[in-house]
Amino acid sequence: EADLRTAARYFDEAANLCISVGFRAGVAVMAPYRAIWIHLALGRPLAALDVLNEALGLVGDTPRRYADLLIRRAEVLLELGRHSECESDVGEVLRIVRQLGSSEHLIAFCHWQLMLSNSVRGESEATLEHARKVKAHRGDWWDVAGPDFLADAAESLDRVGYGPLAWEHLEEAKQQPGDAGPIIAMAECALLARHGDPALAEARLGDIHRQGIDLREHWRATLLRAYAAFRRGGAGAGALAARAFEQAAELGQPQLPLVRERDISEQVL
């Protein structure tokens, strides 16, 4: 966390220098890193949104760069539970891609966000459809982000009832994890907590922070641990659920558990 805050200060200084010399492209290039790697990772989606909105205002005359930033904004809007705005941004990216020509990574990332959005809202068939469309648009991006997608797909599919398929995606991610270890570890814990061995889920979630998960995911790890305890009839489920809501509130988003994990939040409540 301390390293990310230090990095944020350097990024802010670099962005201000770019603005002072009129180098708009420099601000736009840095924006996804500042927004996603720093602010969103620290659980500050509104700050991430500000960074992206500022950058979008600078590159309106550069459609490709505008689309690259817009799909990142969709990612942040999804974190905030603003699904209609997220889907609107995704639709605009797809429109730009159709105009400029095929861009496999942008098309794939669009369906990736739609998969996540539909999963959170409990839309099972749409979740599966968009997961399949992401895989249909594999390209050079897959070598870098494929394991991240597979972990997200595993969680998304498990959330809406496709358990066996979810485990298939998780096992594929584990074969060549790249630098997606924390995301894969979190996905495996989520699958165990929801439908797997609750005792094993509790044990792993107890020290999941050692895997290097983002600060923004700490509340969710606690909530999943609460749900695992709830499933096995453990007396600590209530206290853990309360702590999860406290952690979300500490990020300035007290309703986050009901936004991103409504089903299990309502059950433990």
pLDDT in tens, 111-142: 999 999 999 999 999 999 999 999 999 999 99
Identity of residue 127: T
Q: How far is residue 13's CA from residue 107's CA, in Å, rounded to a whole number?
A: 33
Measured CA distances, 95 to 18, 49, 71, 116 (Å): 30, 22, 12, 20
pTM for the structure as a whole = 0.93
SS3 content of the chain, % helix, strand, coil (to 5): 80, 0, 20
Cα angle 201-203-208, degrees, rounded to a multiple of 5 = 85
For 68-100, write each residue's pLDDT tens digit: 999 999 999 999 999 999 999 999 999 999 998
Q: What is the pLDDT of residues 221-261, one digit of tens each?
A: 999 999 999 999 978 899 999 999 999 999 988 999 999 99
Q: State the Cα–Cα distance between residues 190 and 135, nearest whole angstrom.
A: 22
Structure tokens at 124: 């099972």
